[in-house]
Structure 1
């Protein structure tokens, strides 16, 4: 739900007749998550809603959507919403790519055509404690010890201001009765679309490492309020995001995502064990290159596991899945176009990942 011009998503959600958005809404209504992260949802870059998310909740999630069987889904409401500020499309005063001018998207702190492009939003049926929300949006890449920043590519001036998070890294507390769980959300840059310097691949690696270091409460960290700390060892959390990394296939570095998946504080039954989210519909996708990983765990049309919901080890997981229906499933129409093809234009090139937690 991103467009190259600011305000386009606001305009498109003003009515309830966009077929792609109907399918996205129907999937959400069918799965019915209590807490939901939507990546690539345009909103004001400084945070908050310009009306697009409210429109989507009202005109799409709040309306019963048709499915192929002739039935309809049931509307769903999310009274609690958070739209964080983002680095995407935030133009810097430094010529990052050294082409002699400061222009978007290349000279933004995160790749985007306008500030707020490709942002992410959180929807919840439980209260969100925004007063205790923490973020690492402004953390400088150079300040991570042992970082992989391509030193020969960026000027000294660029290194002094370049932020690590391509969008934002946030820890947002959610209150479920008497329990607090921190939603650790981010959307690292894809490890492609760069040159020999591999700046995007390196940034993706270090954005994932930042997740790990927040979990580890690394002593070098500082958040956007200047507090030098990550998560406490006693805090429950759930990592959520399109991490743009597969531990087996794809172009990205495998070490950082493996470090996260096998972290001692991550629930291993979900990250790499018997309850990794799976689907049956992914086996029908047509790939243009060979993959080694299990098709049942793919979350993307390219045959990769890129999207994750990873609870901390102290949380009890009862079930998990990837919404990718089988060919005979009446919900199949929600992920294909009118000719039965799985294309990004039909809804999304990603699939919704979910887990059930018992508190």
Structure 2
């Protein structure tokens, strides 16, 4: 029998500058913002969900924050929504807040967040996690957390900014690049997950924009099974040909607007192994409510495709071209929709502080047996 599954990504902004703060906040059930986030997830009801910006121990695993969120928030009905359970989860290691052994920014002092191998105030800051209603085959996971930026052919690293010593240790992935198999009724779907650094907070060297570009290139090269790739277990290459996969992540890249270097996101969205109708066709995830976003600068992109309050399409669920897609969407309800209340603060304002500055993106996939 075919399996109909909903795959989603949601940047929930559950990150704090102090390690353990999210764990402390999830120990009780009264945090309004977490209630709003959980209600959105309960309304959309994804079968597989990537949460971006969820603090956890930097070496991977759960300090209790994710278990708390699943039990106290997702596991309890929020308003008129129904509780939802995810029996499987994975919290991969991350480079965010992992202090570099050498000075990265050239100020002569080793300190976070600037000298983190990924920007963060503590190891595990801004990490990502995977929740699933289907078994995750963690033993089959592959990561490129330790892959050095300088080892990517034709990379865009600003060599005049980083010292030779810094170039020898600086990793490409700001968090992690992960391929994780999911067993869906005996058929495997591979999740290709990442959360590239935002292409902002730069000087003239454009180090973050360049890194964002190359992190996106890494996704494309994993899809291409590029020979130069070496994962953290010293296995060469990326995805095998004919593998069914879904790219998931807050990619911090908009094909038309924003500060990013565009070729990498364009190459990914137009890749022949990416489902064209979802990447830039009639099944591109859309909302009605995005058109009411008040952006501080003019945007060329379609408001219906925005996933961020600033008027950008940053968050992506991109199935491989061999998969059958039936529907997609961005959770951003119309002003007249009662569900819009899930995006509003206690004074009825659409603010990031009410939940997140990002919107949940979902795609429905049918897997044939």
**TM, length-normalised to structure 1:** 0.98
- Say which SS state the counterpart of residue 126 (structure 1) adopts: coil
Instruction: Report how far residue 340 of structure 1 moved.
Output: 2.5
* 1:209 corresponding residue in structure 2: 217
Note the C-alpha offset of 1:339: 2.7
1:244 aligned to 2:263?
no
Show the counterpart of 2:147: 139
Q: Say whether residues 1:164 and 2:178 are aligned partners.
A: no
The correspondence of residues 264-303 of structure 1 with structure 2, limited to 5 A, is 264-303=272-311
Aligned to 2:15: 2
- In structure 2, distance between residues paired with 1:282 and 1:92: 40
1:41-87 deviation digits (Å, cap 9, x = unpaired): 00000000000000000000000111xxxxx1000000000000000
Taking the aligned partners of 1:320 and 1:94, their CA distance within structure 2 comes to 45
Establish whether residue 27 from structure 1 lines up as the match of residue 40 from structure 2.
yes
Instruction: Give 1:148's aligned residue.
Output: 156
Which among 62, 70, 79 is matched to residue 57 of structure 1? 70
Instruction: Tell me whether 1:174 sits opposite 2:187 in the alignment.
Output: no
Q: For residues 348 and 69 of structure 2, what CA distance do their matches in structure 1 show?
A: 25
2:211 aligns to what SS in structure 1? Answer: helix
- Aligned equivalent of 2:59: 46
Q: Report the secondary structure of 2:362's partner residue.
A: strand
Unaligned segments of structure 1, at least 5 residues: 67-71
Q: d(CA) in 2 for partners of 1:310 and 1:95?
A: 37
Aligned-residue offset at 1:207: 0.1
3-state DSSP class of the match of 1:39?
strand
Give me the whole-angstrom Cα distance separating, in 1, the residues matched to 2:349 and 2:314.
21
Identify which range, 152-161 or 329-338, moves more after superposition. 329-338
Q: Find the partner of 2:347 among 329, 339, 353.
A: 339
Q: Deviations over 1:232-255 (max 9, x none)?
A: 012110000000000011111111
**Residue 11 of structure 1 pairs with residue 31 of structure 2:** no
Q: How does 1:78-89 map to 2 (within 5 A)?
A: 78-89=86-97
Match of 1:241, SS state, is strand
Question: Which secondary structure does the structure 1 equivalent of 2:192 belong to?
Answer: strand
Cα offset, 1:328, TM superposition: 0.8
Please name the residue that 1:118 is paired with.
Answer: 126
Q: Distance in 2 between matches of 1:16 and 1:276?
A: 35
Q: Report the counterpart of residue 103 of structure 1 in structure 2.
A: 111
Shift of residue 299, structure 1, vs aligned partner: 0.1
1:188 matched residue in structure 2: 196
> How far apart, in 2, do the equivalents of 1:234 and 1:147 lie?
27
> Shift in Å at residue 183 of structure 1?
0.3
Instruction: Decide which moves more: 95-104 or 330-339.
Output: 330-339
C-alpha distance in 2 between matches for 1:294 and 1:340: 25
Q: Give the superposed CA RMSD.
A: 0.5
Q: Secondary structure in 1 aligned to 2:53?
A: coil
Q: TM-score, with normalisation over the residues of structure 2?
A: 0.95
Pick 1 or 2: higher relative contact order, CA cutoff 8 A, min separation 6: 2
Deviations 1:196-237 (A, max 9, x none): 100000000000000000000001000000111100012110
Shift of 1:35: 0.2
